[in-house]
């Protein structure tokens, strides 16, 4: 049933995005006004990229166009690698609504199409219900719907009444069929082991631990410790045996430390990070995904978006600690990724009750607001996060890598806001978006 619904949705989307069917495989020659082929290196001005059958064949200045190549003149723009979002969710309807899995998947298919439209070529989805993120990843890979590379977590691992529990059931309701390891709920190390195995069995490519309470959940506190140190050790051991990374949502010092000692691969949010644990992260290559924009978005737009009082209260209380964690990590040389912690709700959903607008582009801009240079923020949103997600084919424009690039109006190295002015998106060597006047 789910596959049939996704197929139907794809017919609505294919005509609006100019997908691969409209761009047959072959050679694409791209001439760029400025080319930031690698955010850690000086840009080329001008720069050229040759893409053959979806892969980059050459990068340089003043390259000759191969005979018979399609030509894309981006001489008026700055061209960058596609962006990568390390922490996303899916918009499946208004807050508090619990749609069926097929309906949720159809709605979420618009999220991933919208992400690609902005130049996002990779996303890590850290928690859904019904394995809809896995379904979307498979549908994208087979060409049924448009979207970027997805790294799905399936169900985040949590406890009843924890950060992953958004349903305030009365105790008289039957719970045994819902609070199960298959749905990500654990009460013991044995449950934790089963939950990891089941998420991976049904398609998860990363495991998400909700180690502490959080802001958006109605039943808990960010300062609560929820998944025990013993349970986290089991989760990480089982996931790593399958070569699967583990991301830990942590909003207080104790859970950060326990997650690090368990061996997680990334800390999400990081409120309460200590200097000692920041040193440990740097020494062991553990990435901080600070998700600053979601906090700033709650503070600035939360009331206008009619967010519940508990979200506003917890967001205000936690903000200074989360921003301090990010700045501490920067000062001590921790590798920082870029994760928006937002659902990519398409524009028609903005302004609806409980819906905030936001993407990794907003996160990259916000990282600069909190002290990064534009170059550092671009690195976080391309190379660093691509490496964290294991997407070796994206993150920079280099020979042998996937032919993905984004053309923007302006120079993001001097004004980071330029990344919001997307003009052209090339994905796997195909022009999927072209907003230029008259094109």
In sequence order, which residues have a C-beta less than 8 Å from that of residue 141 and are 6 or more positions away? none
Question: In the structure, what pLDDT confidence band is assigned to residue 248 with cuts at 50, 70 and 90?
Answer: very high
Q: Give the integer Cα–Cα distance in Å for 129 and 92.
A: 10
CA 268 to chain CA mean position, Å: 11
Question: What per-residue confidence (pLDDT) applies to 169?
Answer: 65
In this predicted structure, the answer to whether residue 246 has a pLDDT above a threshold of 80 is yes
Residue 97: predicted pLDDT: 80
Q: How far apart are CA 297 and CA 302, in angstroms?
A: 7
Q: Say whether pLDDT at 5 is over 70.
A: no
pLDDT bucket at 7, cuts 50 / 70 / 90: very low
pLDDT averaged over every residue in the chain: 92
Q: Hey, what's the torsion of the CAs at 127, 319, 83, 277, to 10 degrees?
A: -80
CATH code 3.20.20.140 region(s) in the chain: 83-389
How many Cβ atoms sit within 10 Å of the Cβ of residue 274?
A: 13
Q: Which CATH number fits domain 2-81+396-434: 2.60.40.3710, 3.90.1170.50, 2.30.40.10, 3.10.180.10?
A: 2.30.40.10
Residues of the chain with CATH 2.30.40.10: 2-81+396-434
Contacts for 399-402 with beta carbons within 8 Å, 24 or more apart? 399/56, 399/57, 399/58, 399/59, 400/55, 400/56, 401/55, 401/56, 402/54, 402/55, 402/56, 402/121, 402/428, 402/429
Could you give the C-alpha distances from 216 to 28, 231, 294, 325, 339, in angstroms and in order?
Answer: 44, 23, 10, 19, 16
With cut-offs at 50, 70 and 90, classify the pLDDT of residue 357: confident
Phi-psi category of residue 105: left, alpha or beta, with phi > 0 → left and psi -120 to 50 → alpha: alpha
Q: Are 377 and 368 in contact (CB under 8 A)?
A: yes
> Does residue 320 register a pLDDT over 50?
yes
Query: Confidence band (pLDDT; 50, 70, 90) for 4?
Result: very low
pLDDT band at 2 (very low <50, low <70, confident <90, very high): very low
Residue 42: is its pLDDT beyond 70? yes
pLDDT band at residue 101 under the 50/70/90 scheme? very high
Instruction: State the chain's maximal CA–CA distance in angstroms.
Output: 73
In this prediction, residue 60 carries a pLDDT of 98
Q: Is the pLDDT of residue 3 over 60?
A: no
Domain 83-389: assigned CATH number? 3.20.20.140
State the pLDDT confidence band at 129, using cuts at 50, 70 and 90: very high
Provide CB contacts within 8 A for 5, sequence distance 6+: 102, 103, 105, 106
């Amino acid at each position: 049933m789910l596959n049939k619904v996704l197929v139907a949705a794809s017919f609505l989307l294919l005509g609006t995005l100019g997908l691969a069917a409209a761009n047959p495989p072959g050679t694409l020659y791209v001439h760029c006004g400025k080319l930031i082929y690698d955010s850690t290196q000086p840009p080329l001005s001008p720069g050229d990229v040759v893409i053959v059958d979806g892969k980059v064949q050459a990068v340089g200045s003043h390259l000759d166009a191969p005979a018979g190549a399609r030509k894309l003149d981006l001489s008026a723009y700055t061209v960058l690698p596609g962006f990568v979002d390390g922490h996303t969710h899916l918009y499946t309807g208004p807050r508090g609504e619990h749609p069926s899995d097929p309906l949720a998947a159809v709605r979420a298919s618009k999220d991933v199409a919208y992400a690609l439209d902005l130049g996002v070529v990779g996303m890590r989805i850290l928690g859904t219900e019904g394995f809809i993120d896995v379904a979307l990843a498979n549908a994208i890979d087979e060409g049924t719907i448009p979207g970027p590379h997805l790294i799905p977590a399936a169900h985040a691992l949590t406890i009843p009444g924890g950060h992953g529990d958004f349903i305030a059931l009365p105790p008289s309701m039957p719970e045994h069929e819902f609070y199960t390891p298959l749905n990500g709920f654990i009460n013991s190390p044995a449950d934790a082991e089963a939950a990891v195995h089941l998420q991976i069995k049904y398609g998860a490519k990363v495991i998400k631990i909700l180690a502490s309470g959080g802001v958006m959940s109605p039943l808990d506190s960010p300062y609560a410790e929820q998944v025990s140190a013993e349970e986290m050790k089991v989760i990480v051991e089982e996931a790593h045996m399958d070569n699967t990374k583990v991301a830990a949502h942590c909003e207080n010092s104790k859970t950060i430390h326990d997650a690090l000692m368990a061996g997680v691969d990334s800390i999400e949010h990081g409120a309460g990070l200590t200097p000692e644990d920041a040193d440990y992260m740097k020494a062991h290559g553990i990435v901080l995904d600070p998700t600053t924009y979601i906090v700033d978005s709650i503070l600035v737009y939360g009331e206008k978006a009619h967010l519940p009082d508990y979200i506003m209260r917890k967001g205000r209380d936690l903000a200074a600690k989360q921003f301090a964690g990010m700045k501490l990590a920067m000062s001590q040389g921790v590798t920082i990724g870029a994760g928006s912690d937002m659902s990519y709700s398409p524009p028609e959903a903005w302004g609806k009750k409980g819906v905030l607008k936001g993407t990794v582009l907003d996160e990259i801009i916000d990282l600069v607001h909190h002290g990064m240079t534009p170059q550092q923020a671009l690195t976080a949103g391309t190379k660093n996060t691509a490496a964290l997600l294991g997407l070796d084919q994206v993150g920079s424009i280099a020979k042998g890598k996937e032919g993905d690039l984004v053309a923007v109006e302006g120079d993001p190295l001097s004004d980071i806001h330029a990344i919001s002015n997307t003009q052209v998106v090339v994905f796997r060597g195909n022009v999927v978006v072209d907003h230029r006047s008259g094109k």
